Amino acid sequence: MEIFKRDADFAPRKVLDGLCYLTVCGDIIEVKQMTSRNSKQNIQFLENSDFYQVLSTGEIKKKNINEKRIDDTKELRKTFKDLRDIINTNVVDVSYCRWVTLTYAENMTDNKRLCNDFNKFIKRFKYYCDTKNYGHFEYINAVEPQGRGAWHCHLLFIFERKAPYIANKDLKDLWSHGFVTVKRLSGDVDNVGAYLTSYLTDLELNSNDDFSCNCQIKNVNGKKYKKGARLRLYPANMRIYRTSRGIKKPQKIVMTPNDLKKYIGSHEPTYQKLIELLDDDFQSLIFTRYYNLKR
């Protein structure tokens, strides 16, 4: 399938008059409109195997299993978009949150140990919160690979009321594998999902993990970062993030353009794009806009 980007300021009337498909993530709203939807299922994966069937021809093919996640950019984009949407859906007030980083003292590269150590840590932290009367919390946990192969673990704790003060030393003792940092989230950040996922995808220029790549450079608070450079460090078939059971999912809504105007009100898009999809028997224009109701 070929994808062509077009000028979003000239979305055709056929797109603008079509139904609006919304993904509501708290105050961040994604709106998609399209000229046609592809309802055909082109492939079917065969159960308990590494093969799939092309439905149009009946041909059986083997799945392409990549050694690195960067080899499947579509999957990566979807994973981090899903994570960004989940964060924005659940972070209503940043004062209810704490951003925690768990680091190993040694160069720990075992994925299974990372999972086991986290599960033990979260049980200890729940008990710690109970004894301190800090109340119930939910969490979103995401892993971050380092260039040397070691893992960091990032945690977003979301409490039912104002987040309590948590000393680094207390969490370090609960973690017991290395270093810990605890941070507040700034009230100036109005897209928390985008802000936090940048930790997992961008790589600081001239850091110990720095390597050569053709990545866009961005400046944040006087520091330079390679945008998306860390993506190539994620191994294939690894679960990048986990959530507690009480974490809410983004809401999916379908409405007419007139209803969208009432829903969005006077807010202007913060970003928009228009792309054209071309396949052998399918063609569609997709117009995407983002709104931030905090602005």
pLDDT for the residue numbered 48: 55
Q: Is the dihedral of CA 116, 118, 121, 123 positive or negative?
A: negative
pLDDT for the residue numbered 69: 45
pLDDT of the chain, 295 residues: tens digit per residue: 555 677 777 788 888 888 999 999 999 999 999 987 665 556 665 655 566 666 556 666 665 544 444 455 567 778 889 999 999 999 989 999 999 999 999 988 888 899 999 999 999 999 999 999 999 999 999 998 876 778 889 999 999 999 999 999 999 999 999 999 999 998 888 899 998 988 777 666 555 555 555 566 666 566 665 666 667 777 777 788 999 999 999 999 999 999 999 999 999 999 999 988 776 666 788 899 999 998 8
Locate all alpha helices (DSSP H) within 22-145, ordered by sequence.
73-90, 111-132
Q: At what angle do helices 168-175 and 111-132 cross, to 10 degrees?
A: 130
Q: How many helices (H) and strands (E) does the chain have?
A: 6, 17
pLDDT for the residue numbered 24: 97
pLDDT for the residue numbered 73: 59
Residue 250: which of 34, 81, 51, 52 has the closest Cα? 81
- Across-strand partners of 255? 20
Q: Are 215 and 241 in contact (CB under 8 A)?
A: no
pLDDT for the residue numbered 68: 46
pLDDT for the residue numbered 74: 66
Task: Determine the Cα–Cα distance for residues 145 and 165; give it in Å rounded to an integer.
Answer: 28
pLDDT for the residue numbered 278: 73
Residue 44 token pair: 């079917």
**Angle at 95 (CA atoms; ends 93, 97), nearest 5 degrees:** 85
Q: Are 205 and 218 in contact (CB under 8 A)?
A: no
pTM for this entry: 0.81
pLDDT for the residue numbered 36: 77
pLDDT for the residue numbered 62: 67
pLDDT for the residue numbered 67: 45
